[in-house]
Amino acid sequence: MGRSRSHPGTAVATLLLLCQLHHPLPMLAQRGEKPRPAWKNKELQYADQVYEANIRTVQLYRQDDELSFPYLVLGQGSYLNLEFDMLQAQPEQLFYTIEHCDANWQRSMLIPIEYYSSFLGNPMNDYRSSQNTRTPYIHYQLTIPKEGTAFKVSGNYLLKVYRNGNERDLLLTRRFVVAEEGIRIVPDLVTLPSRGATRGYQTVNFSLYPTRVPMRDPSRELQFQLVQNGRWQGAATPIEPAYQYPDHLEYRFDRKLEYSGGNEFRWFDLRDVSRATNRVASISYTDSCDQVQLLEDKARPQLTYFTEPDFDGAYYIGTRQYPMADVEADYLCTTFSLRLPDSFPAGELYIRGAFSLWQLDPTYRLFRLDDMALLTTKLKQGIYNYEYVLLPPEGSPQTELLEGSFSETGNTYHILVYYRQPTDRYDRLIGLEAVSTSPAVRR
């Protein structure tokens, strides 16, 4: 396909207009009314969340592995990287703080001096402007814990980034965990269905071998969280051991250990804008934003399962032309189109993946038009995994109608074991282990 500097085609322009109408700007305050500060409308969520639409490409990962699960181990000296972009030309003064949480992701009883060895509420001074991009942005980066500091206790943690020292003026929150070595976890992932004739489920069984923590009453002292593909679901919960032996506990035959297998994630590659490559139908070029039309997607609930390598829903930022992707990768106006089956039920449609923090974000909501669902949104150059989600007028999000579910699907699970005695003031994370049916396990 030749590279031409023409305006986007009528179809793409129409899609952009529809999406703008679909995501209208907030209504202006009536004349004479004093505008309410935007930060007063932000409610802290103890979840992976962005609070402003211009915050994009939020990544939190271990050291130099963009695809990794964000965790630390007490005393090992490892670190996490936080990276994100603000889609604007000028930087702002941002700050961050870290909050210790209980097993159910609520604020714990500990005060900062009890869980971190330094003052919290520090400015984010590591930022750079984008270089030679049509979409200007400021790229922020943070390493935690910062040099010379350390976490004192294990457990769940919430990282908060906010503006101008005002903790209520939130920009983003991200979960991460700090584990201690108190127990050995031996997983056993069963890919055969365990709900009678129901297909598409995976069971994550495991055994626990205490090493440094006494187990007097495991039914009351332990809680568990299983995280599928980096996506947090529900709260930690107690699980009764199926078998108790003198040296270990076995957990199996419990519905709480069953998960829908889903399907291999859809994907596309935006690293090269000089030509249409994998899963890209066409590219047109403008002075404001390069327009990328992806190949049309279709629902696939009844298709036979076939294996295909993916990132288990994650994404990777990169370009083929420039070495510094963090500031040289551009944002592309990317158009998704989904052909809907006949008599498809009512509800909102979203694309979802690690790039959306697994949230049903209005930025990634599709516009339904007859038997098509359309979305145009800006995405930074890289390789993306995604799936389609239906949110019915009543009920919980559903993926099976659009993606199907198979017990053979490659998924990565992280098993988290929390421990708390009646006299303890916080939930310790005494064990963390990864198990996967994918070719490569994301630790």
* Fold that domain 266-403 belongs to in CATH: Immunoglobulin-like (2.60.40)
For residue range 353-383, list pLDDT tens digits in order.
Answer: 999 999 999 999 999 999 999 999 999 999 9
Answer whether residue 177 shows pLDDT above 50: yes
- Section 51-69 average pLDDT: 95
Q: What does the mean pLDDT of the chain come to?
A: 89
Closest CA to 438 of 415, 411, 414: 411
User: Which CATH class name applies to 183-261+408-436?
Assistant: mainly beta
User: How much is the pTM?
Assistant: 0.90
Residue 412 has what pLDDT?
95
Question: Tell me, what's the pLDDT at 6?
Answer: 39
pLDDT of residue 143: 96
Q: What separation in angstroms does the CA of 357 have from each of 50, 55, 89, 210, 313?
A: 8, 12, 24, 34, 10
Provide the pLDDT confidence category of residue 93 given band limits of 50, 70 and 90.
very high
Cα separation, 412 vs 307, in Å, equals: 15
**Residue range 187-213: mean pLDDT, rounded:** 78
Decide whether 48-179 matches 266-403 in CATH topology.
yes
Residues 144-148 have a mean pLDDT of: 92
What pLDDT sits at residue 3? 38
The region of weakest confidence among 37-46, 156-165, 184-193, 203-212 is: 184-193
Which residue bears the tokens 């440094």?
212
Which residues are CB-neighbours of 317 under 8 A, at least 6 positions away? 57, 59, 66, 325, 326, 329, 380, 381, 382
Domain 48-179 = CATH 2.40.400.10: no
pLDDT band at 29 (very low <50, low <70, confident <90, very high): very low
User: Regarding predicted confidence, which is higher, 33 or 323?
Assistant: 323
User: Which of 162, 163, 42 has the alpha carbon at shortest distance from 98?
Assistant: 162
User: In the chain, what are the domain boundaries?
Assistant: 48-179, 183-261+408-436, 266-403
What percent of the chain has pLDDT above 70?
89
The reported pLDDT for the residue numbered 199 is 64
Please, are residues 189 and 435 in contact by the beta-carbon 8 Å criterion?
yes
Q: Check residue 363 and report its DSSP letter.
A: G
